[in-house]
Amino acid sequence: MENCLFCKIIDKSIPSDIVYENDNLLAFNDINPEAPVHVLIIPKIHIPTLNDLKKEHVGLLGELVFTAGILAKKLGIDKDGYRTNFNCNDAGGQTVYHIHLHLLGGRHFSWPPG
């Protein structure tokens, strides 16, 4: 998708600090981390928001969530705990319109979020 920052990260025309990659998804460190661990996990296909999900994407989304759990173990935040987050549209705090799962850890998070 032209002019999508995360599609450019996927095709490597913009560099990123990659944590994990497979045929379906890419995980990389957030450029402006909100926690000691802040990884973004994104599908390799361009889906702008959660509102654009189709039934055919259910398996892919499951893989994103599954990967968050695997990476949490790999990064050593699984025992203490961590936060996973999808933001949707403006009120939800979304700034990049290619869905991404935030994986945050290494500090304590309150609930509800601010």
Active site residues: 100
Q: Which is nearer to Zn ion, 15 or 114 (CB)?
A: 15
Contact 86, 68 (CB under 8 A): no
Which one-letter DSSP state was computed for residue 101? E
31 binds, among ligand AMP, Zn ion, none (CB under 5 to 8 A by kind): ligand AMP
Neighbouring CB atoms inside 10 A of 50's CB total 15
Return the residues of window 41-100 that contact Zn ion according to CB under 5 A. 46, 98
Per-residue contact string for residues 33-72; x = within reach of ligand AMP by CB under 6 A? -------x--------------------------------
CA geometry: angle 6, 10, 16, nearest 5 deg? 80
